[in-house]
Amino acid sequence: MASDPLLELIKSLTEGEKRDFRKKGAGSSYMELFDAMDGMRVYNKDKVKEQLRNPVFAKNLSAGKNYLYRHILESLRILHGRAKPNPSPEVAVSEYWANVHVLWEKNLFAQIFKLISQAKKHCKAYHLLHDSLKFILLERRLISRFQQRNLLKKLGRLHAECAEIQRHLDMELKLVQVYEQIWVNYRNAAEQKLKIALTDGMAF
């Protein structure tokens, strides 16, 4: 059984998905790594390095694997019509959801947990609080279904995360209400001054 995330993903690919990926990556340096790992049943770092002709690539194997992993997911999204070019922070969230969907179809739930963690960090960095809540809810659902160890502790941690986000949302709502009141008062005062100016102008 594959124990490496990249190898797990490669082994989950159908022949059609592999064929499509090889077509898209023809001539690319990372295809050598793809072919080396595709021929393995269990991940062996030394054997992978032996099959890589570029010594620089072999030396930076970890970076190469991460690069290949992202390209496989991108290829799957494109193949299944879920890719978004040059995503903004908000659109990038949909890419995370697309990746979750791809991994879910492959039953790679351990990798989904890791992807959710990355997505939550992204949402936090760009203050996408509502999206953060959605990923937390998915995480709670997965933990309830697929994890048994420290279940209550993990769910308690997620509950605390939800409560913290909700506090921020409540604070934002109050700020919006204050800004709206200021704007309405300013606009009404400006309209009143405009009416006075028009009246004075007509009188002149």
Res 1 pLDDT > 50: no
Res 201 pLDDT > 60: no
Res 100 pLDDT > 70: yes
Closest C-alpha among 60, 9, 1, 14 to residue 34? 9
**pLDDT at position 197, please?**
62
Whole-number CA gyration radius for the chain = 26
Tokens of 165: 């986000």
CB-CB neighbours of 32 under 10 Å: 18
Res 65 pLDDT > 70: yes
**pLDDT at position 127, please?**
92
Res 204 pLDDT > 60: no
Give, in order, the Cα–Cα distances in Å from 54 to each of 4, 49, 113, 178.
Answer: 22, 9, 33, 61
The C-alpha atoms of residue 135 and residue 138 are separated, in whole angstroms, by 5
**pLDDT at position 83, please?**
55
- Give the percent of the chain with pLDDT over 90: 53
Residue matched to tokens 């102008």: 201
Residue 25 · residue 79 · CB < 8 Å: no
Name the residue type at position 5: P
Q: Determine if the pTM surpasses 0.85.
A: no
